[in-house]
Amino acid sequence: MRVAVETQFAIGTPTGLGVYARNLLDALNQTAGIDAVALEDPRFDLWRFDRRVYWDQIRAPVLARRARADIVHFTGGTVPAVLPSRAVVTVHDLVWRRRANSGRPYVHWYFSALQHILVRRAAGIVVDTNAAREDVSDGLGVDRDRIFVAGAGVDRRFFGVVRNPDKSPPFVLAVGTVEERKDLITAVRAIATLPDIKLLAAGPHTPYAAGVTREAERLGVSARVELLGYVDDARLLDLYARASAFVFPSRYEGFGLPPLQACAAGLPVVASDIPVVKEVLGPSVRYCEAGDDRAFAAALADAIAWTDDGFARINAAREHARSHTWAGVAQRLAGFYRTLI
């Protein structure tokens, strides 16, 4: 079976979409009976709205036709208006429909109203978690039985991280695009009550980053908050090695890969107690109510203390992370693809 996998999101500054697409392609190519090919154009990335529309509606359909694949798998939650006969789309979340991020009206229209009409026409809809299946079923008005839960995996490199936390000063790490739904401001407020602890955030900026900077200034902790922007894989692994804890205050997710990577790397994790995150991370990390900066501060202080209970949590969370493999995702999707042929 020949499968064309949309990997354009791995070009340029790949965030979670790029990590998902590239790892899925590699895992499918190691799955018996699957010949997976990439749908991508290395000449441009998608970090601009007009480029994204051009890719979705013009360039991707051309490449899909040329691929002559049995299945075309769109991995970024958007599809062309004219779909291949056996098109599969991964809908990671409904950020725009749920208004979890702000944006211009035409952005909301394209990613919410228009795309959600188009996505319903796909032969198969894939999500990462059971919680996301409920969200997508409700948000798109699609029978949950039409939605396939495939999961996501952890790159094995994170299990090989050798921990060597910085001492002076120690820092808490956040990873992900700096946007409203990630709620980095809650992490800033938590850090403000923890003297001599820094917050480092790795991920591309949106206009929301300016609000994070202003809040750090208002609280007098600008010197202890660093927004690093996008970092490459080598630096990201180094940050996981040197951090004392990982914070994930997100208010809305479809999966939540960065804290799972932190679990794999042996970091104590403090995360929002939203259903999807609890499903992905399991029972061994510390959870706080979304937006409760005092609870996050207390949980981070406890995590950094490195108690016996903390070590037990870290080991249990790391074992839990081992159950999330890209090979497993590829095997599940291979079976799903076959039901469509």
For 77-125, how does the pLDDT look when each residue is reduced to its tens digit (9 = 90+)? 999 999 998 999 999 999 988 888 888 999 999 999 999 999 999 999 9
pLDDT confidence bin for 306, thresholds 50/70/90: confident
Direct distance between the N- and C-terminal alpha carbons of the chain, in angstroms, rounded to an integer: 9
Task: Give the residue range(s) of CATH 3.40.50.2000 domains in the chain.
Answer: 2-153+325-340, 156-321
Alpha-carbon distance 331 to 329, whole Å?
6
Alpha-carbon distance 269 to 300, whole Å?
8
Locate all alpha helices (DSSP H) within 141-256, ordered by sequence.
184-192, 208-218, 233-242
C-alpha distances out from residue 54 to 39, 46, 50, 74, 79, Å: 14, 9, 6, 15, 11
CA-closest candidate to residue 283, choices 253, 244, 251, 323: 323
| Residue 254 structure tokens | 């479809």
pLDDT of residue 336 exceeding 80, the answer is yes
Per-residue pLDDT tens digits for 112-160: 999 999 999 999 999 999 999 999 999 999 999 999 999 999 999 999 9
150 phi, psi to nearest 5 deg: -105, -25
pLDDT of residue 308 exceeding 80, the answer is no
CATH match for 2-153+325-340 among 3.40.190.10, 3.40.50.2000, 1.10.1200.10, 3.30.450.20 = 3.40.50.2000
CA-closest candidate to residue 87, choices 39, 38, 122: 122
| Residue 154 structure tokens | 């952890």
Higher pLDDT, 247 or 85: 247
CATH match for 156-321 among 3.90.1150.110, 3.40.50.2000, 3.40.50.1220, 2.60.40.10 = 3.40.50.2000
Q: Against a cut of 0.85, is the pTM above it?
A: yes
Alpha-carbon distance 47 to 244, whole Å?
31
Q: Burial level of 341, CB count in 10 A (0-12/13-18/19+)?
A: exposed
**Which residues are bridge partners to 149 per DSSP?**
127
Q: What is the pLDDT of residue 100?
A: 85
What are all long-range contacts of 127-132, with beta carbons under 8 Å and residues at least 24 apart? 127/90, 127/91, 127/92, 127/254, 128/90, 128/92, 128/152, 128/254, 128/255, 129/254, 129/255, 129/276, 129/279, 129/280, 130/279, 131/275, 131/276, 131/279, 132/91, 132/92, 132/93, 132/254, 132/255, 132/276
Q: What is the pLDDT of residue 46?
A: 87
Q: What is the pLDDT of residue 44?
A: 82
Q: What is the pLDDT of residue 78?
A: 96
| Residue 3 structure tokens | 């499968």
CB atoms within 10 A of CB 105: 7
26 phi, psi to nearest 5 deg: -60, -40
